[in-house]
């Protein structure tokens, strides 16, 4: 079966996608610079699938090393590009780091594609491109609002760079996937989310608080215009998200795309507040999550959830996992991490 390059394949969404790709028989080459990921994830992927994917420790910003990598693996048929920096707050402090990491790597890949005769490109985008949508649930045709952070801006500009490049080259096709909030872990608990240092995202903070690594969770904002005052998001199981990438790659390789650039929302269609997430987590795990209501976090969107019907109908894909199961998987993963830490 076809060989797929997965940049950022050691990371959270990337590693779960590599597993799903290998499960259906794709051969995978991972490029990752391990800047926000751990090489042990390769062992987890191998344990789940029985296959150790090819791995190259390269920064996608390094054009010459990427060129050499494409020469070495000269039969890659599609690229799934995850590798990017993704901490919203950090992007405000270090904008150039974000523009460089997220845009130079993208431009390098798009430049190298014709040289190495690769036509197919799947891109990790984000619901962040919608800002605060006027109409919910949000569809793919909703207007793109000015980005609230350099990180968000890199996703908007990235989408534009892809569209311009694909339309300028008749051989190219691309699928842009706009993720809502991925959470949870693989059912084997061999891979999951592994944030470096203090987590920025909600779920790792919830599980780390539940296990006692953090004293309490801060709930950012309690006076939003939502039923309980906390922000609403569309939380999707990372394995459901990973499976959508397999379908996207199959679609693009089988020339089933309806336009040269297709864009899909990947969400469940259900919005849940921060307080609802805490409540469901406590229910399914039986573990309390001490929390405090604090002020709003700068740059947060009040509420956003997906209309996933275009992906449901066109890709034949649906987010199957319940939020209960998803939260349980995150908890099992956190407990597994704690056991590993004890054993070390």
218 makes contact with ligand UFG (CB under 6 A): yes
Least distance (Å) between residue 274 CB and ligand UFG: 5
Q: How far apart are CA 296 and CA 220, in angstroms?
A: 5
Sequence-separated (6 or more) residues with CB below 8 Å from residue 254: none
Binding mask 22-61 for ligand UFG (x = CB under 6 A): ----------------------------------------
Judge whether 151 counts as a catalytic residue: yes
Among 274, 278, 319, 323, binds ligand UFG (CB under 6 A): 274
88 makes contact with ligand UFG (CB under 6 A): yes
Q: Which stretch binds ligand UFG (CB under 6 A): 15-23, 112-120, 166-174, 201-209?
A: 201-209
337 makes contact with ligand UFG (CB under 6 A): no
Among 16, 81, 86, 270, binds ligand UFG (CB under 6 A): 86
- Looking at residues 229 to 248 of the shown chain, list those that interact with ligand UFG (rule: CB under 6 A): 231, 233
> Is the CB of residue 76 less than 8 Å from the CB of residue 4?
yes
Among 63, 99, 220, 310, binds ligand UFG (CB under 6 A): 220
214 makes contact with ligand UFG (CB under 6 A): no
205 makes contact with ligand UFG (CB under 6 A): yes
Q: Nearest to residue 53, comparing CAs of 23, 12, 84, 33?
A: 23
Sequence-separated (6 or more) residues with CB below 8 Å from residue 324: 280, 283, 284
Name which of 60 and 277 has its Cβ closer to ligand UFG: 277
Residue nearest to ligand UFG (CB): 231
Distance of CA 218 to the CA centre of its chain: 23
Name which of 292 and 340 has its Cβ closer to ligand UFG: 292
Among 22, 101, 128, 226, binds ligand UFG (CB under 6 A): 128
194: number of Cβ within 10 Å: 20
Name which of 218 and 250 has its Cβ closer to ligand UFG: 218
Q: Which stretch binds ligand UFG (CB under 6 A): 1-9, 64-72, 81-89, 133-141?
A: 81-89
Q: Take residue 298 and report the two structure tokens written for it.
A: 């700068």
Residues in the chain: 344
**Residue 213 φ then ψ, to 5°:** -75, -25
Q: Nearest to residue 12, comparing CAs of 203, 174, 147, 224?
A: 203
222 makes contact with ligand UFG (CB under 6 A): no
323 makes contact with ligand UFG (CB under 6 A): no
300 makes contact with ligand UFG (CB under 6 A): yes
Which segments of 196-273 does DSSP mark as H helices, in order? Answer: 202-210, 238-253
Q: How far apart are CA 93 and CA 88, in angstroms?
A: 9
Q: Which stretch binds ligand UFG (CB under 6 A): 20-28, 86-94, 248-256, 262-270?
A: 86-94
Q: Nearest to residue 150, comparing CAs of 84, 217, 244, 246?
A: 84
79 makes contact with ligand UFG (CB under 6 A): no
Query: CA separation (Å) from 159 to 123, 134, 174, 296?
Result: 8, 21, 10, 29
Please tell me which residue in 98, 130, 151, 172 is annotated as part of the active site. Answer: 151
Among 297, 314, 318, 325, binds ligand UFG (CB under 6 A): 297
213 makes contact with ligand UFG (CB under 6 A): no
Q: How far apart are CA 319 and CA 180, in angstroms?
A: 11
Query: CA separation (Å) from 114 to 108, 109, 119, 165, 256?
Result: 11, 9, 7, 11, 21
249 makes contact with ligand UFG (CB under 6 A): no
**Mind telling me the catalytic residues?**
151
Binding site for ligand UFG (CB under 6 A): 86-88, 126, 128, 181, 200-202, 205, 217-220, 231, 233, 274, 297, 300
């Amino acid at each position: 079966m076809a060989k797929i390059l997965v940049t950022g394949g050691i990371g959270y969404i990337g590693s779960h996608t590599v597993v799903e790709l290998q499960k259906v028989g794709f051969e995978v080459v991972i490029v990752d610079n391990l800047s926000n990921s751990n090489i042990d994830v390769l062992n987890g992927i191998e344990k789940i699938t029985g296959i150790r994917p090819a791995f190259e420790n390269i920064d996608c910003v390094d054009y010459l090393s990427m060129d050499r990598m494409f020469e070495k693996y000269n039969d890659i048929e599609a690229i799934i590009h995850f590798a990017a920096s993704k901490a919203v707050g950090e992007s405000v402090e270090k904008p150039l780091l974000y523009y460089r990491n997220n845009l130079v790597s993208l431009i390098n890949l798009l430049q190298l594609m014709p040289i190495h005769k690769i036509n197919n490109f799947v891109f990790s985008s984000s619901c962040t491109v919608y800002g605060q949508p006027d109409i919910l649930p949000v569809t793919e045709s909703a207007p793109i609002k000015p980005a609230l952070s350099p990180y968000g801006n890199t996703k908007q500009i990235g989408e534009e760079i892809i569209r311009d490049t694909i339309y300028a080259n008749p051989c190219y096709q691309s699928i842009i996937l706009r993720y809502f909030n991925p959470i949870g872990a693989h059912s084997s608990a061999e891979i999951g989310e592994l944030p470096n240092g203090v987590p920025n995202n909600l779920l790792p903070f919830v599980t780390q608080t539940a296990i006692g690594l953090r004293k309490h969770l801060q709930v950012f904002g309690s006076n939003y215009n939502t039923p309980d005052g906390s922000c609403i998001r569309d939380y999707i199981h990372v394995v459901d998200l990973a499976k959508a990438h397999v379908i996207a790659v199959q679609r693009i390789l089988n020339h089933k795309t309806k336009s040269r650039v297709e864009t899909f929302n990947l969400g469940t269609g259900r919005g849940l507040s921060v307080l609802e997430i805490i409540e469901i987590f406590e229910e399914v795990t039986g573990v309390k999550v001490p929390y405090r209501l604090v002020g709003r976090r700068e740059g947060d969107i009040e509420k956003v959830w997906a209309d996933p019907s275009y992906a449901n109908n066109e890709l034949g894909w649906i987010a199957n996992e319940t939020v209960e199961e998803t939260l349980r998987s995150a908890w099992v993963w956190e407990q597994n991490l704690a056991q590993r830490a004890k054993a070390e």
